[in-house]
Homo-oligomer: A and B are copies of this chain.
Amino acid sequence: MNINLRSIKNGSLAAALVGILTPLPALAADASAINTGDTAWIMIATALVMIMTPGLALFYGGMVRKKNVLSILMQCFTVIALVSVQWVLLGYTLSFGPDVKGIIGGLDFWGMSGVGLEPSATYATTIPHTVFIMFQGMFAIITAGLITGAFAERMKFSVFVIFTLLWTTLVYDPLAHWVWGGGFLAKLGALDFAGGTVVHISSGVSGLVAALILGRRFSKDREAILPHNLPMTVTGAALLWFGWFGFNAGSALAANGLAGMAFLVTNTAAASGAISWVLAEWLDHGKPTIFGAVSGAVAGLVAVTPASGYVTPLASIIIGLLVGPICYLAVSRVKEKLGYDDALDAFGIHGVGGTIGALATGLFATTIINSTAANGLFYGNPHQLWVQFVSVLISWSYAGLMTFLILKGISLVTSLRVNKEEEEIGLDASLHGEDAYGYSEMGVEGTGVMG
């Protein structure tokens, strides 16, 4: 307020407008509390999580047909842009603002008001508040991005924009508050180090619901749909693995021993996930594939996400070995059987893998790794498994129900899908008026007629 007044005293109205949302140092902790090492680590961890969403765009983009690759990149890029702005205006404060009845965060930080150069008084008190905000913001971004894999190659872009804004505000922000913002699941004692429920179950289950509501792609029944560029998918997977170090080890919110252990188990879980998926398919149909290897690695990363701050190296290997074959069966058998068109397996990998990880945390968590946390079943505390189960159940139900309501709501106003002809032409040309590879594949050297 005082700033606001000052600026008006300065006779500048614009300043009033701007000033209104400028920091009120008053509200914040002491700057001297900042630890440069922790700050350096979380800033770079934030950059690492940021690059995961473009990584996801390549991971998904390589899997679709050439005529739809831009629509995938556009969806992921749009998520980054929209959620980045939503987060500083509203999302952060809904998730991490002062707890209101365990349900949602208060509006104290809307538009970054009261956010200065100092640490937050509540969270990550050794790093600037802004760094904590950005780190958490990148989680909100990628979570909304993950869903896109389920309804790829058929959703209208305009619908996608509305859906993303509603979903991140009504689904992600509350869930993040419940688990990390001092909400009721936190009070319940649910363990979710880096987002098994908040990130992977919420996006995976929402994806499944979206896939069911939108229905199958027309071409799906006519022909098999092959990835148009697997090297692109592998590149994306590599960026995901790379960024996941920031995702999990950054969730320690400091450059300490816990971060180091989270880093290690993240890597071994990814590795054993890749190994177990490839072994499963090798036994099943006789060929070890790179598509299987990267899928398994991502499954391993998903599964270890909630566990990464609580389990031992060996446990992480076991988690990876478990999740690979299960996700392989989910995408190669169950999906076929039930017939839903989860195009790029957002549910099959993130929904299933996140659930396995959340429950495995209830088995393998140990206070030896994290004295501030709890033991799991294998360390003599069966109750934790129950708590994990409850939090999984709540995440599934809430994400599923809300996604259903949001999409049904939108469908009252407009159809969710492009029409058959647009789908045949491809979303790149029909929705975005672009070609991914110009004419170049046609040997006419990327040229067209000027309009």
Contact = CB atoms under 8 A, between A and B. Distances in A.
A219 B379 contact: no
Interface stretch (A188-196, A253-261, A398-406): A253-261
Contacts of A118: 257
A230 B71 CA distance: 11
Q: Please tell me how many copies of the chain the complex holds.
A: 3
Given A37-B36, A287-B432, A234 B73 contact: yes
Contacts of A58: 231, 235
Contacts of A449: 223-224
B38 A81 contact: no
Interface string A207-232: 00000000000010001111111111
A314 B231 contact: no
Nearest to A269: B84
Nearest to A50: B242
B437 A379 contact: no
B228 A15 contact: no
A116 interface: yes
Which DSSP category, helix, strand, loop or mixed, fits chain A's interface?
Answer: helix
B368 A436 contact: no
B44 A432 contact: no
- A17, A21, A433, A445, most chain B CB atoms within 10 A: A445
A271 B438 contact: no
A231 B228 contact: no
A176 B321 CA distance: 28
Given A36-B38, A380-B7, A447-B65, A235 B54 contact: yes
A307 to B, nearest CB: 12
A123 interface: no
B111 A47 contact: no
B272 A81 contact: yes
Nearest to A242: B51
Interface string A271-292: 1101100100000011111110
Interface in A42-60: 43-44, 46-48, 50-51, 54, 57-58
A146 interface: no
Contact of A51 (B234, B238, B254, B379): B238
A88 interface: yes
Contacts of A78: 274, 278, 293
Given A10-B380, A116-B257, 6 more contacts: A37-B38, A47-B246, A58-B231, A73-B290, A131-B263, A224-B447
Minimum-distance CB pairs A-B, first 9? A36-B37, A117-B257, A10-B380, A54-B238, A84-B271, A128-B260, A226-B438, A287-B433, A40-B41
